[in-house]
Amino acid sequence: MAAAWTAGPAPPAVAAPVVSIRARTDVQLRAVRRRDDGLVTVTGAVIDRATSQGVGGLEVGVVVAGRRHAAVTAQDGSFVVVVAPPEGADGRLLDVELAFDGDERFDPATLAERQVDPTRAPVDLTLELTTTETGVSITADARAAGVAAELPVTLRFTPAGADAPHLEVPARSGRAVAVRRSDLFGPGPRRVRARFDGDPARGPASAELTFDLTSGTVIDLALAADEVAYEGAIRARGQVVDDDGLPVARATVALVAGDRRLGATTTGSDGRWRLDVSADLLGTGRHSLQAAVEASARWHRSSRSGVAFVTVGERRPAPVGITLAATAATALLALGFILGRRRPWRRAAPPPPPGPTEVEVTGGLEPARPSLVSTLRRASDHGFAGTVRDAVRGRPLPAAELLLTLDAEVRHAIADAAGRFAVEALPAGEWRVRVASPGHVTEHLTLTIPHRGELRGARVDLVPVRERIFTLYRRAALPALPSPELWGIWSPRQIVEHVRGGAPPVRLAELTAFVEEAYFSARVPDEALLPAAEAKVAAALAERAGAGL
């Protein structure tokens, strides 16, 4: 959703911005080899840094001893150039430069190797990696001129897509090296690069590999009291750590009773979480509760705590005075309604048409309402401040991320535990804003800076991915219900179970299984699931239309 504010007449609608993010690449020099005919063969590759996979169809410039040659990468990202060394160049050593200038998909990348000896045998390095309970085991295999060789190599570990922090481990090719997860900066996407610096008989070589370093999670649950009043609150506390005992920050934690999700929050930097929910959500009696880690990152696995029990007291009746006051208010309201109907110029509105009314939850920006005095001032406020909240439950979203861009100017903000954020001293212009939180649909906004105060105390609502998926599901599932009105009466669990139990067609059955996993799973669904949900809904509708139902 996009919104903009300017003085004077309303501006034309501004489309949601399209942000293009280019992938980072590396160029590799694999071998420089002088042939018997005096020509030199240069081989290399262009690698996507995030995946360590080669990228085909890219043009690479190869400069040998000051002369530039062009090459196009094959499907696996490799390229080969055969060049004649220029006259007068050193008979043995060559300077080699590789350059990929970038395009709309990938950032540029360069590499320069000085004084390369083309008479040395080329070395091919490959990496094999196996995950263990505590980290990884990695082996670098080397072949010189097609023959296996044991060579000294250096293994350099970094986060994927970054150059720091890093860990260097000396190794020898053909021998496995075990590295602990705690030494590799904890769970997350990682990259390892193996390099052989060369020797008098063999040329230098390198190889890269990207992998996910995963870990389980452990969560504990403590209740402030095991007995609470019906009108009171259940106060839950705990901490989330990984398999190495390190705290897991910004993990989504839900308090559940069976398959009911009572509420959710996010862990702090120390992995600790706090959550209060209304006792009336459970009703009177003794209930079992668990805390569930809803891991949104692929390198963390979900988990549940042990069971804690709480007893909710009986609902206390309202005092007699309140009951009498409510009765009197009801009587006055009824009397006013009767008198109003007797006025001929105040006709009652016609009843609404039969059938359910679908109210789709939407997100977006809700600007503040500036005072009358501020609206008379000129636009002079250069800040953007407010809260980010869940569009369904109205609860704040801690650690929600805001990315603001204006040409080359970029600003970041992270919402605090109450969902509040503030960005000050923004230069004038049309700012594009991206607001994101795990498990919610990202919102894209356009803000005009400066403003007259309407962006102070603003609110950004994000729609949960679960709700968006279930809203899409409505189009396909509604005809399977006994009555359309039941959509607003039955719970999501009742709707899914009814559709599944009615022997649905193949596509609707697949869609229902998809929705059940996304909506009720303890794992927080990512918004990347939405295109798949839309495709499955379209397939179910097409199946129904084809069957003439």
Q: What value does the mean pLDDT of the chain take?
A: 83
Q: Which pLDDT belongs to residue 344?
A: 47
Instruction: Provide the pLDDT confidence category of residue 17 given band limits of 50, 70 and 90.
Output: very low
Average pLDDT over residues 510-535: 87
Element (H, E) at 328: helix 320-341
CA–CA gap between residue 154 and residue 170 (Å, rounded)? 5
Average pLDDT over residues 232-239: 92
Cβ atoms of residues 457 and 369 within 8 Å:
no
Q: Is the pLDDT of residue 9 over 80?
A: no
Strand partners of residue 446: 432
- How far from chain centre, in Å, is Cα 370? 34
- How far from chain centre, in Å, is Cα 346? 53
Percent of the chain with pLDDT over 90: 34
Q: Which pLDDT belongs to residue 139?
A: 95
CA–CA gap between residue 26 and residue 160 (Å, rounded)? 12
End-to-end Cα distance, the chain: 36
Q: Which pLDDT belongs to residue 488?
A: 78
Q: Is the pLDDT of residue 389 over 80?
A: yes
CA–CA gap between residue 393 and residue 466 (Å, rounded)? 12
The answer to which of 88-97, 300-309, 415-424 has the lowest mean pLDDT is 88-97
CA–CA gap between residue 204 and residue 125 (Å, rounded)? 10
Single-letter amino acid code for the residue at 86? P
Q: Is the pLDDT of residue 6 over 80?
A: no
Task: Name the residue with tokens 């402030």.
Answer: 224
CA–CA gap between residue 145 and residue 232 (Å, rounded)? 76
Average pLDDT over residues 4-14: 43
Q: Which pLDDT belongs to residue 23?
A: 72
Q: Which residue, among 461, 366, 375, has the nearest Cα to 415 in the 3D structure?
A: 461
Read off the pLDDT of residues 162-199 as tens digits, 9 standing for 90 and up.
788 899 999 999 999 999 998 988 888 888 999 998 88
CA–CA gap between residue 302 and residue 291 (Å, rounded)? 11
Q: Which residue has the higher pLDDT, 2 or 485?
A: 485
Cβ atoms of residues 270 and 235 within 8 Å:
no
Q: Can you list the domains of the chain with their CATH numbers?
A: 20-119 (2.60.40.1940), 217-312 (2.60.40.1930), 364-463 (2.60.40.10), 466-546 (no CATH)
**Which one-letter DSSP state was computed for residue 175?**
S
Pairing of strands 40-48, 147-149: unpaired
Which parts of 375-522 are beta strand (E)? 384-390, 401-406, 409-414, 420-423, 429-436, 443-449, 456-462
Read off the pLDDT of residues 97-135 as tens digits, 9 standing for 90 and up.
999 998 888 888 898 888 888 888 888 888 999 988 889
Read off the pLDDT of residues 292-346 as tens digits, 9 standing for 90 and up.
998 767 788 889 999 999 999 988 765 555 556 656 666 676 666 555 555 544 4
**Which one-letter DSSP state was computed for residue 89?**
S
Q: Which pLDDT belongs to residue 1?
A: 38
Read off the pLDDT of residues 27-58 as tens digits, 9 standing for 90 and up.
888 888 888 888 888 999 998 876 778 889 99
